[in-house]
């Protein structure tokens, strides 16, 4: 009798443990599909401009602590979206990150940091874009020659702004502020995400600078190559300020034609 009771007790104890440890009782997270955010620069141009597939933009701003962009620059970026896209809603999500502790950053290292830190990806009708504000300069800078990189794009929804470099550059001018340089760099790099110039978005009329691939040859255009590399940008912005114009350049007619041809404003 005792043996029968022990076997029965063991049976029910095993059944109890089996039921309590069932995998079905543990919620499992669905894997994030990142594939739509790992495409080539310019591949999402029409999706950013139009509402056909996405009517909402979610901008994830990841910044090293102490290197958050100015509110003024983000306001100007929002105005840029209103002028050139049909998006119904633009939302910003800020994330402060620890410094990676690098003296300089390669784009490969920037992409690796994104893989570690990015949290927002396309979801339903929301298109997600990731911007990293770094505390280290680009590894390709040559300060002695006055060649510094302010920003870069490296995927269809990814970009970096070298915020330390931006602040150092703005600090040399009495006319140009951090917000001015941030806004010019942000909108220039978004121009590349929109496929300009001939970076996925076809040219209506030829206007790519033969001396600077994927940049505009029209003087004063937002997509001029100098807006990516520091010294030329400051000269252009100071000339605009001296003439009483807004410091941040805008797209020229040819760049706007290209965007309108694929559904932009």
The CATH code that applies to domain 34-260 is 3.40.390.10
CA distances to 51, 102, 122, 149 from 44, in Å? 12, 30, 11, 24
Better-predicted residue by pLDDT, 65 or 172? 65
Map tokens 């069932």 to a residue: 22
Distance, in Å, from the CA atom of 148 to the CA atom of 242, rounded to the nearest integer, reads 24
pLDDT, position 28: 59
What lies within 8 Å, CB to CB, of 29 at 6+ separation is none
Distance, in Å, from the CA atom of 60 to the CA atom of 159, rounded to the nearest integer, reads 11
> Within a 10 A sphere around the Cβ of 90, how many other Cβ atoms?
16
pLDDT per position as a tens digit, 53-97: 999 999 999 999 999 999 999 999 999 999 999 998 999 999 999
Distance, in Å, from the CA atom of 41 to the CA atom of 200, rounded to the nearest integer, reads 7
pLDDT per position as a tens digit, 97-150: 999 999 999 999 999 999 999 999 999 999 999 999 999 999 999 877 778 999
pLDDT, position 9: 39
**Integer-rounded Cα radius of gyration of the chain:** 24
Is 162:153 a contact under the CB 8 Å cutoff?
A: no
* Residue 184 scores a pLDDT above 50: yes
pLDDT per position as a tens digit, 4-36: 344 343 333 333 333 333 445 555 566 778 999
Global confidence as pTM: 0.87
Give me the residue spans of the domains in the chain: 34-260
């Amino acid at each position: 009798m005792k043996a029968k009771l022990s076997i029965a007790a063991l049976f029910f104890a095993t059944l109890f443990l089996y039921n309590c440890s069932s995998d079905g009782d543990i919620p499992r997270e669905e894997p994030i599909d990142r594939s739509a955010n790992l495409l080539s620069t310019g591949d999402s141009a029409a999706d950013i401009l139009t509402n056909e597939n996405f009517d909402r933009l979610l901008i994830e701003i990841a910044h090293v602590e102490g290197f958050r962009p100015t509110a003024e620059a983000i306001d100007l970026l929002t105005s840029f979206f209103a002028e050139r896209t049909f998006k119904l809603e633009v939302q910003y999500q800020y994330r402060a990150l620890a410094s990676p502790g690098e003296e300089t950053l390669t784009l490969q290292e920037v992409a690796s940091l994104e893989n570690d830190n990015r949290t927002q990806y396309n979801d339903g009708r929301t298109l997600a874009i990731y911007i990293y504000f770094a505390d280290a300069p680009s590894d390709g800078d040559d300060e002695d020659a006055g060649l510094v990189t302010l920003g870069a794009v490296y995927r269809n929804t990814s970009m970096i702004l070298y915020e330390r470099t931006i602040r150092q550059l703005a600090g040399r001018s009495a006319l140009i502020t951090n917000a001015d340089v941030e806004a010019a760099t942000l909108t220039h790099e978004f121009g590349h995400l929109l496929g300009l110039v001939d970076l996925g978005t076809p040219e209506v009329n030829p206007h790519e600078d033969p001396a600077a691939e994927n940049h505009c040859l029209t003087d004063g255009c937002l997509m001029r190559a100098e807006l990516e590399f520091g010294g030329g940008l400051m000269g252009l912005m100071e000339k605009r300020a001296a003439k009483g114009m807004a410091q941040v350049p805008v797209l020229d007619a040819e760049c706007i034609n290209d965007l309108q041809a694929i559904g932009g404003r």
